[in-house]
Amino acid sequence: MKTYAAALGASVKWITVGAYVVLLSVAFLAFYLRFAVKAPLLAFWVTAGTTTVISIASLGFRIHGYDLGPDELVIRYGFWRRVIRLGDVLSVSSGNGVINRSLRICASGGLWSFLGLFHHGELGRFRAYVSDLSKVVMLVTAAGRVLVSPSEPEQFVRDITAHSPNLA
């Protein structure tokens, strides 16, 4: 089994850092208002609790990597995994720019990754498991399109092509 890393691209890093700056600012404001201005205790706990929950829950949007075995591709993200059978892969190609021209249906748009269900005007619906917009690979499967962003996209395409019976 070969493992491909899922490094964070520049846009994902900036969006994630920006979101955490906002969350930390809200948390510090809650502390200030509670202890300097004597704001109500309930308001403090609701604000502090909400920012903590959002910070921890957002880790569920982190792409951890891609494991390519002889029969399947395992996408590791958040606290879950998605398995794609290589026998179901019909084609593999570069997917750079696809997310930029897509609408989010039910997806995270940059906090740790671009993860979820998207719609593209020409391609239709697709699922994205992308952490770097400059290294996107699109897999067309029997169930639909899937976008991933392995650290070595060219090698990933060669390995998928070698292992997939429909592409050899």
Range(s) of the domain holding residue 146: 1-168
Per residue in 129-142, pLDDT tens?
A: 999 999 999 999 98
- Exposed/middle/buried for 136, CB within 10 Å: 0-12, 13-18, 19+? buried
DSSP classification of residue 78: T
**Residue of 50, 59, 54, 51 lying closest to 115 (CA atoms):** 59
Predicted TM-score of the model (pTM) = 0.87
The total domain count for the chain is 1
- Express as a percent the part of the chain with pLDDT over 90: 65
